[in-house]
Amino acid sequence: MKILFLACLRAHTGNCTTADRIKDHLEAAGHRCVLKDANSFASPAEVADLITEENFEVALAIHLYKGGRLLLGHGIPFGAIFGGTDINEDVKHEETFRAMGAVVEAARFLVAFTDKLKEMAEVHWISSGRDIVPHARNKIHVQPQGIQTTPSADFDFKTFLQSAEIPLNLGSVHLFLLICGLRRVKDPLFLVNAFSEWHRKDPQVYMIIVGPTIDPVFTEEVHATIKRNKGVRLVQEMPREDLYAALKHCCAVVNSSISEGMSAALLEAMNLEVPVLARNIPGNAAVVKHEDTGMLFSDPEEFVLLSKRLMSDSALRETIVSKAKEYVKNWHSWERERETYQTLILQLQ
């Protein structure tokens, strides 16, 4: 089949990585899958023209509103994958909620990354009374993200430190990496003040925020805030293989999002046996069990306390990374994800 695949394709973001991985799964089954940036289309009419011009037979989209709504009204069979923004943010607005309800109605199948996301989708569109789509319950399949991590063999850690303007004469540096696109929902500034105060007392600790500009106005705020706070650095997005290599040199990977579907950065760190410290929100708590596969914090002060504990308690650290690695192996199998999408796509024939 010739498949049109719509997703938000900002380079080096979780969406882009997920889309590339699913595209690879589908092409491995012999399909031709053409990946297009949903943000490049102003209306469903533009997608309709593309479908006609390129003779696409079926379609797939990540994010019901950003991608799925562009496939409505064309008659092309399609499936859709929930994003965290769908469930956590877009449902709050009536217009986007109703557009996503239409996608739920029209899609042949839907994929949620976690049982919790599936339950929340069912509440919104099946049993809420707002816009009931009762037959959609059987359409929603749960398939966690499959994880593969291959660190670059050519990565130079000293060069990385220099790019982040971190002194090389500190003896040892304790790095915490926060990986996210720069937008408010990721809340990269949540920990900055507390971390800067910690750095003032312990100059060997640094937090590096790694990620692309998504919201230019907010990015200016991030730059200004970091400029005022010592011990926190901001670097641009990196090739995935280099990022994986950088993770191996870190004390922990951090997630401070206000809402999250499923953080690939956390799962990739867990697979690389790097501890994770995540804000205690439903999307993170779905993959991080406190003091078992990682650490969950509710406020900046708790983050600092848990970070210090993780640095000083080697037995706890070893237990966490071991259990996290096992969790990813058991629940985020790349092979199982491949089988799921290769099977689901056949429903569009």
CATH number for the domain harbouring residue 126: 3.40.50.2000
Same domain membership, residue 204 and residue 300 = yes
pLDDT at 168: 80
pLDDT at 128: 56
For residue 275, tell me if it sits in a domain.
Answer: yes
State pTM to two decimals.
Answer: 0.83
Same domain membership, residue 320 and residue 197 = yes
For residue 93, tell me if it sits in a domain.
Answer: yes
pLDDT at 334: 93
Same domain membership, residue 187 and residue 101 = no
For residue 10, tell me if it sits in a domain.
Answer: yes
pLDDT at 116: 83
Same domain membership, residue 86 and residue 34 = yes
For residue 152, tell me if it sits in a domain.
Answer: no
Same domain membership, residue 259 and residue 115 = no
Range of the structural domain that residue 227 is part of: 157-331
* Number of domain units in the chain: 2
Same domain membership, residue 31 and residue 57 = yes
Same domain membership, residue 174 and residue 135 = no
pLDDT at 127: 64
| Distance in angstroms (rounded) separating the CA atoms of residues 305 and 136 | 44
pLDDT at 11: 61
pLDDT at 280: 98
pLDDT at 262: 83
Same domain membership, residue 236 and residue 90 = no
Question: Which ranges of the chain have pLDDT less than 70?
Answer: 11-14, 127-135, 170
pLDDT at 89: 74
pLDDT at 132: 54
For residue 279, tell me if it sits in a domain.
Answer: yes
Task: Calculate helix-pair angle for 314-331, 264-271, nearest 10 degrees.
Answer: 110
For residue 195, tell me if it sits in a domain.
Answer: yes
Same domain membership, residue 132 and residue 64 = yes
For residue 151, tell me if it sits in a domain.
Answer: no
Same domain membership, residue 43 and residue 166 = no
For residue 65, tell me if it sits in a domain.
Answer: yes
